[in-house]
Structure 1
């Protein structure tokens, strides 16, 4: 079990998530494969180092793995999406954004990088935000959905699994320890996608040990090159 600091745990309500998983299937007319379509997963839920037992990823280079083992997306955002893009069949229930955990009350504004969270007997740590990709375009039948998600800041986030374990209905996500009070995910997401040339901030970002190595390397490359990486292949998938 990770060391629990003696400082006061910040106020973040315990929440019982809806747990979802997906199976690999064609996502578009080109028959590109994805498991982004998530539906409720039968309990008990086994949480492993690489994700939920029963969940799949078609592209294991860019999805899943230890640093992106579990994806959390706030159901709080669904109403904002309806206001932005109009009614959509996918927005009627959790799972539209490929999330494994759906909750209300936790968002990018009150969840911080490095937060340690218990779920049943499993222990998770917030490792990075989400970098939306073209699969959201295919999922929503909108060419701009990935870009809209990125620029809205409503991206969701990923956990690494510190301790494997099992959870059951009624088990809540509970914040155990906060390591970086100054680094809510919203700050990281703004730096990554909006204030992209704040090199002083990028240097601080690159020093966060609990941040996924890929995001720290991204910050370092921007500082070295004084340039922002090309987002088009990720957002449009035209490669």
Structure 2
């Protein structure tokens, strides 16, 4: 990366516990609250933060979720005034900022925040739990179409961070792949074989590598229904 390093303020750090959710047998950790003071961060994220279904949420490649607070105003325009949009945490995010978004953050970006070194690992693939949380039946599809998904980090170096810390962009190894380009390829141009071939050359998380290779091999798009609509009755 050349030029001056990007620096913004980490405005909120958020965490929450897993609890029963809307559909029979379902659990979620999407309800996050701001945490005052320092938090410990390890390879699985913030100590004490929980996910409802560890098969598809959490883990080393989804240790922390970052959601830009500036999107909240855009959501108000899309779905109207909503009590969940009054403060950070509506989307289950762990980190909330103003000044970074999917257009300005690239896959593989390395950020230093407090003692913690973070790597942008993937964008969020929204699921039905967002729809139930907001009581908007197509909320997951709206997030997917809007490209306001936020993104996940893996933790390269654990340590302590807190609200008010500076987030410093330390390296940008893949500058040609801003997250907005990735999202467009996932959902808007899902069978652009040239772009998919380029994406396949990058260091992708295993689930994304499988997705890209399957599209390239079959020429077909994976079925999104179970992710965005969910089970008729929970699992």
Question: TM-score w.r.t. structure 2 length?
Answer: 0.95
Match of 2:8, SS state, is: coil
Q: For residues 188 and 169 of structure 2, what CA distance do their matches in structure 1 show?
A: 28
- Aligned match of 1:124 in 118, 122, 128? 118
Structure 2 portions without partners, runs of 5+: none
Describe the shift of the 1:166–1:58 C-alpha distance in structure 2 as closer, same or farther (beyond 3 A).
Answer: same
Cα distance, 1:44 vs. partner?
A: 1.1
Cα offset, 1:16, TM superposition: 2.1
Q: Give the Cα separation in 1 of the matches to 2:175 and 2:86.
A: 34
Q: CA deviation at 1:163?
A: 0.6
Quote the residue 2:60 is aligned against: 66
From 136, 140, 157, the equivalent of 1:142 is 136
**Does the CA-based 8 Å contact 2:5-2:170 persist in structure 1?**
no
Q: Provide the C-alpha distance between the structure 2 equivalents of 1:51 and 1:98, rounded to a whole number of angstroms.
A: 13
Distance 1:190 1:10 in 2: 28
Count of aligned residue pairs for this structure pair: 232
1:146-185 alpha-carbon deviations (Å, 9 max, x no partner): 0100111000000000011111342111100000110000
Higher relative contact order (CA 8 A, sep 6+): 2
Separation in structure 1 between the aligned mates of residue 55 and residue 4 of structure 2, nearest angstrom: 35
Post-superposition offset of 1:11: 5.7
Which residue is equivalent to 1:3? Answer: none
Quote the Cα distance in structure 1 between the aligned partners of 2:177 and 2:67.
18
Cross-structure match for 2:108: 114
* Cα drift, residue 29 of structure 1: 5.1
For 2:17 and 2:226, the matched residues in 1 are separated by 24
2:225 alignment counterpart: 232
> Who is 2:174 aligned against?
180
CA RMSD for the aligned pairs?
1.3
Range moving further from structure 2, 10-19 or 95-104: 10-19
> Does 2:58 correspond to 1:25?
no
Q: Secondary structure at the match of 2:56?
A: coil
**Aligned ranges for residues 86-235 of structure 1 at < 5 Å?**
86-209=80-203, 211-235=204-228
